[in-house]
Structure 1
Amino acid sequence: MQIKQYVARDIQEALKKVKEEMGSEAIILSTKKTKGSLQGPGIYSPSMIEVVAAVDRPFQSSSGFSGWNSMAWPAGAQKGKEPGLPEEELFIQKILSAGLFPEFVQGLAEEIRSFEKKSSTKNLTEAYRGLLNWRLMESVEVPEPSFNAPRIWSFIGPTGIGKTTTLVKLAAHFRLKVTDRIALITTDTYRIGAVEQLKQYAQILRLPLETAYHPEELKQIIERNRDQDLLLIDTPGRSPQIPKSIEELRDFLTVHPNIENHLILSATTKDSDLEWIVDRFRLIPISSYIFTKIDETTHYVPLFNQLIRFKRPLSYLTKGQSVPEDIEPATKPRVAHMVLNAIAWN
């Protein structure tokens, strides 16, 4: 079977595209409505409908190339193992049911079909898991921290996702294990007690803290601290529903070309909201993600999907409130393990 994703303004247009390209025998695997997004000043992209469809034969796409060489099954087959289904289809069924990004599943399905034809192993399911593990690791980019030159890191995202706590964990980690040439900066002058909270941590870690009320002031603070190895910038939480507030934050974080913006995402946020958050915060250049609250859920597929959708590195994983213990550098094997454990294999 062949799988393809269609994007349209409404469900009627999406189904029309499916019928025109795949025919009336096509199976609808899933439908999803995406939220509108601000693409730039005065440019708004409306909400769209995404439909994933399948057909049990090759089809010709509008670009002239054959559709994805993958597998699909009727909706009723997704609730359990149906007698007689090939082993590779059962395996892909589990992955698709877990909510993995369709394009990732399509590519994996091609590899599994090719692998199955060439392999002589009897334990195909275990071999497929090994292939999935490898593909998960290949899909994740992790940066290598280096202090050959001064680093300027900011932490951005919605409210209540652990930006300040993450900054403090990293400050403590680097202060204890790497360098004491660290300075803290906060632009969060909106939240009551925010500056005082960070000031207490700065005193405990014996690190300098400065407050920037305006973009130009932030620029001056960065210049004054140019001899530091690491500058960590705390920012106020911004609502994705208010693009203007994100634009104001962008004014701060574009005053220096070397600011690296880490977008903080909570593991407890659902897939569609994560996609919406990332899309809105793309008004600010994003250097990498940091995933927080990984101890509050076991469903990590939505987080992984953002790495596939928006193709940015993942730098750190955090849990709990302990400083600096509850933070770890992201690694390819660790992320793959998290996703594999989130899939219901039984």
Structure 2
Amino acid sequence: MKMKRYFAPDMRQAIRKVREDQGPNAVILSNRQVSGGVEIIAALDYDEALVNQALGAHASPPDHAAGKTGAAAYAETNNHEEPADSEADAPWDFSDYAAARNDASSLEEIQKELKALRNFMEAPLLQFGWGEMNKIQPLRANLLKRLMLLGLAPALCREIVDQVANAGQMDNGWAASLKLLAGMVPVADDDIVSSGGVIALVGPTGVGKTTTVAKLAARFALRHGRRHVALVTTDSYRIGAHEQLRTYGRILGIPVQTAGNREELTVVLNHAQDRKLVLIDTAGVSQRDLHLTEKLSSLSLGEQRIRNYLVLSATGQSQVQSEVIRSFRKAGLHRCIITKMDEASSLGGTLATLAQHGLPTAYIADGQQVPDDLHPARAEKLVKHAVSLMQRNQDTLAEETLAFNFGGMVANAHA
């Protein structure tokens, strides 16, 4: 088995050198960051039995990175820097290499590299696998690409496509995929404007809680009369925090009450028992605030049924949205309201987050106009809007990204 070391400014150019020199059957044995670029060791006529024979006497437990593919394995094994070898392009034989590094620690290191990078060593084959899927399963490949452009995570894309793979035509497959996605997004069938109740809007700072309170209050007042609405603020942390809600209250003709703690909130709610709708505007709390539950504890009144609605911005990243939901669920959540729909460049990630956590959405807000820019949530309309944003932005995905996400699927399917 002949091995050769290659040097290039980046990984893509290094892999290209390997392909040009040794062809598509070459196997990448290791890679590392060096001064000025990356170094790859590749082999032709790779014989795993030979490697195991040389390393078997010093076998070690699999490294924690073993089995990882693509960028994950590369990230874990690409964090050290060593000077480039002056004989970077000289071919050499594996037996010489093993003899030169015959001490136990070196052999163990070799074995760890081989195990941890085995899948990433074949990174060019991921591109080949994605290309093969494009040829033998064009409908599947196109659906995966579109769903990724929608903003969905690869795992959810695969889950959806697996269920519509027999759609036959692209248009049918795409329509079936969107219908399936809409069925995964939970929406609430209850309506605050119709049913009323004691509602608290909770969430991080800056997501639009106060404006949403004003929209709900205005809609309810238009239908039932303003004397049936009560507005309460519990935000005693920020200077001037009450002023925005009080301004809305003056415009709507609805007084605003302040409750700085549990006892004050109990008194205020007791005085508002004759109101059909009580809306509580809470202080913004970071999902990482160690005292989040304590700050929202005043909303947990045994004698009062307060329903917490999480206000979530559509402009947030999926990971952040998930973190917000997990954190605020500790204080109890009833429904969700999605705001800033008009500012979002993509909606697929938000829909995927809601589907993952099973949190029903009651309303969406798509502007600052009170009360016009507030609408009951409908799953089909949310998906339709997500598709509209995708088409408007005309985003593209690099083939390398698609290959890393889905290129191994063909190989796994035939394993």
Same fold at TM > 0.5: yes
Match of 2:185 among 128, 140, 151: 140
Would you say the 8 A contact 2:148–2:157 is kept in 1?
yes
- Residues 76, 232 of structure 1: alpha-carbon distance in 2 compared, 3 angstrom cutoff: farther
Would you say the 8 A contact 2:187–2:360 is kept in 1?
yes
Would you say the 8 A contact 2:197–2:277 is kept in 1?
yes
Find the aligned partners of 1:238 and 1:132 in 2 and give their Cα distance. 36
Q: Where is the strand percentage greater, Structure 1 or Structure 2?
A: 1
Residue deviations 1:3-30, cap 9 Å, x none? Answer: xxxxxxxxx63x44x47xxxxxxx5487
Q: Displacement of 1:208 after TM fit?
A: 2.7
- Residues 223, 29 of structure 1: alpha-carbon distance in 2 compared, 3 angstrom cutoff: farther
Match of 1:89 among 133, 137, 141: 141
Counterparts of residues 127-166 of structure 1 (less than 5 Å): 127-143=172-188, 144-145=190-191, 150-166=196-212
Find the residue that maps to 1:309 and give its secondary structure.
helix
Find the residue that maps to 1:111 and give its secondary structure.
helix
Report what 2:353 is aligned to: 306
Residue deviations 1:203-249, cap 9 Å, x none? Answer: 221113211011121122212212211110001111223221x1223
Find the aligned partners of 1:222 and 1:185 in 2 and give their Cα distance. 9
Report what 1:341 is aligned to: 388
Find the residue that maps to 1:282 and give its secondary structure.
helix
Find the aligned partners of 2:71 and 2:202 in 1 and give their Cα distance. 35
Q: Displacement of 1:265 after TM fit?
A: 1.3
Q: Any gaps of 5 or more consecutive residues in structure 1?
A: 1-11, 20-26, 34-54, 56-72
Tell me which amino acid in the other structure corresponds to 1:194. A
Tell me which amino acid in the other structure corresponds to 1:222. L
Match of 1:290 among 337, 353, 366: 337
Tell me which amino acid in the other structure corresponds to 1:318. A
Residue deviations 1:136-182, cap 9 Å, x none? Answer: 22112222216786511111111111110111111111111344311
Find the aligned partners of 2:377 and 2:201 in 1 and give their Cα distance. 16
- Residues 75, 241 of structure 1: alpha-carbon distance in 2 compared, 3 angstrom cutoff: farther
Q: Displacement of 1:253 after TM fit?
A: 1.2
Establish whether residue 258 from structure 1 lines up as the match of residue 310 from structure 2.
no
Find the aligned partners of 1:30 and 1:96 in 2 and give their Cα distance. 19
Q: Displacement of 1:188 after TM fit?
A: 0.7
Q: Where is the helix percentage greater, Structure 1 or Structure 2?
A: 2
CA RMSD of aligned residues (A): 3.0
Indicate the larger mover: 97-106 or 161-170: 97-106
Same amino acid, percent of matched pairs: 28
Would you say the 8 A contact 1:150–1:226 is kept in 2?
no
Would you say the 8 A contact 1:156–1:263 is kept in 2?
yes
Find the residue that maps to 1:336 and give its secondary structure.
helix
Find the aligned partners of 1:29 and 1:341 in 2 and give their Cα distance. 31
Tell me which amino acid in the other structure corresponds to 2:366. K
Tell me which amino acid in the other structure corresponds to 1:107. E
Would you say the 8 A contact 2:342–2:367 is kept in 1?
yes
Tell me which amino acid in the other structure corresponds to 2:286. S
Report what 2:324 is aligned to: 277
Structure with greater Cα Rg: 2
Q: Kindly tell me the number of residue pairs found equivalent between the two proteins.
A: 279
Report what 1:182 is aligned to: 229
Q: Any gaps of 5 or more consecutive residues in structure 2?
A: 1-62, 76-118, 120-124, 397-415
Report what 1:168 is aligned to: 214
